[in-house]
Amino acid sequence: MDRKQPMFELPFSNIRNTAFISVLDTNNSSKVELKRIKEKLNEKNIECENLRQHNSQKDDEISNLKEQLHTMWERAQLYVKQNEEFREELEKFKSTPENLNINDLYWQNEFLRTENLRIITVSNDLKKQQYLEKSKIDVEYNEIVKRHPIYLELQLDYDQLQKTLDLCKESTMGRKEERDKYEIKIVQLEMQIRQFQQQQRATTTQHHNSRCGINHRMFTIKDNRFNSNYYSRNNRGRFY
């Protein structure tokens, strides 16, 4: 713990990623907004494509109905013409005193009249269906026209967010280079501090050892002086 304590107090130790939090948050929010707009655009494109396919199908159906209606109208005109011819023939037959099978002509006329009514009914039904389909297509077309400005605004927002994201990427690259420089400086400062601490420890150890050696020598000198004085006194007494 004593060795790790100075490392927490190094300069620039609090600079981790705090300088880039705002840039990263902006970049993240731009990505989320861009993703949301992409999803909306995809949904709108899918809806527009579905509407186009639906409209193309309806156009094909309408064209088919028009062809059927035209065919039925031609058949109705043909039946009307045949009916008129039969009527003319009937009038001719009525005006002649010959014995004719009026009953057969009558049922032929009834058959043609019934067929004509059926064709007219089918034609009216087709006209109603065509009108309803056209009304529905007009409503869908108006809805597409209303949504078109929204689609353009979303496209503009998408382009703007794409530009903002590119600028954020460029800014992030510049900030990354600055962060790498700061990290290199921090590593250099940490190495210098460690070298200074090692030198200080070595100097402290040498100083302690030198003081211990001086004290030992001082004690040795004192012992020698004491012993020399002691022996000199004893010898002095013996000589006298």
CA angle 68, 49, 62 (to 5 degrees): 10
Confidence at residue 64, expressed as pLDDT on a 0 to 100 scale: 83
Q: Which two tokens stand for residue 216?
A: 């030992």
Q: Which two tokens stand for residue 17?
A: 């990623």
User: For residues 115 and 90, what is the distance between their CA atoms, to the nearest angstrom?
Assistant: 19
Confidence at residue 127, expressed as pLDDT on a 0 to 100 scale: 86
Residue 209 corresponds to which amino acid?
Answer: N
**Residue 7's pLDDT band (boundaries 50, 70, 90)?**
very low
Tokens 């001082």: give the residue.
Answer: 218
More confident site: 32 or 119: 119
**Residue 240's pLDDT band (boundaries 50, 70, 90)?**
very low
Confidence at residue 239, expressed as pLDDT on a 0 to 100 scale: 41
Taking a C-beta distance cutoff of 8 angstroms, is the pair 87, 109 a contact? yes
Confidence at residue 36, expressed as pLDDT on a 0 to 100 scale: 82
Q: Which domain holds residue 60?
A: 5-239
Residue 184 corresponds to which amino acid?
Answer: I
Confidence at residue 236, expressed as pLDDT on a 0 to 100 scale: 47
Confidence at residue 55, expressed as pLDDT on a 0 to 100 scale: 79
Mean pLDDT across 145-168: 74
User: For residues 148 and 126, what is the distance between their CA atoms, to the nearest angstrom?
Assistant: 32
Confidence at residue 225, expressed as pLDDT on a 0 to 100 scale: 53
Taking a C-beta distance cutoff of 8 angstroms, is the pair 173, 23 a contact? no
Residue 67 corresponds to which amino acid?
Answer: E
Confidence at residue 166, expressed as pLDDT on a 0 to 100 scale: 75
User: For residues 137 and 59, what is the distance between their CA atoms, to the nearest angstrom?
Assistant: 9
Task: Name every residue whose Cβ is closer than 8 Å to that of residue 155 and which is 6 or more positions away in sequence.
Answer: 41
- Dihedral of CA atoms 69, 74, 78, 81 in degrees, nearest 10, equals 100
More confident site: 27 or 86: 86
**Secondary structure (DSSP) of 138-161:** HHHHHHHHHHHHHHHHHHHHHHHH
User: For residues 77 and 6, what is the distance between their CA atoms, to the nearest angstrom?
Assistant: 107
Confidence at residue 161, expressed as pLDDT on a 0 to 100 scale: 73
Does 154 have pLDDT greater than 80?
no
**Residues in the chain, how many?**
240
Least confident piece of the model among 45-49, 88-92, 121-125: 88-92
Does 2 have pLDDT greater than 50?
no
Confidence at residue 20, expressed as pLDDT on a 0 to 100 scale: 52
Report the percent of the chain where pLDDT is more than 70: 61
Helix (H, G, I), strand (E, B) or coil at 132: helix
**Residue 129's pLDDT band (boundaries 50, 70, 90)?**
confident
Q: Which two tokens stand for residue 52?
A: 């186009």
**Residue 237's pLDDT band (boundaries 50, 70, 90)?**
very low
Does 33 have pLDDT greater than 70?
yes
Number of domains in the chain: 1
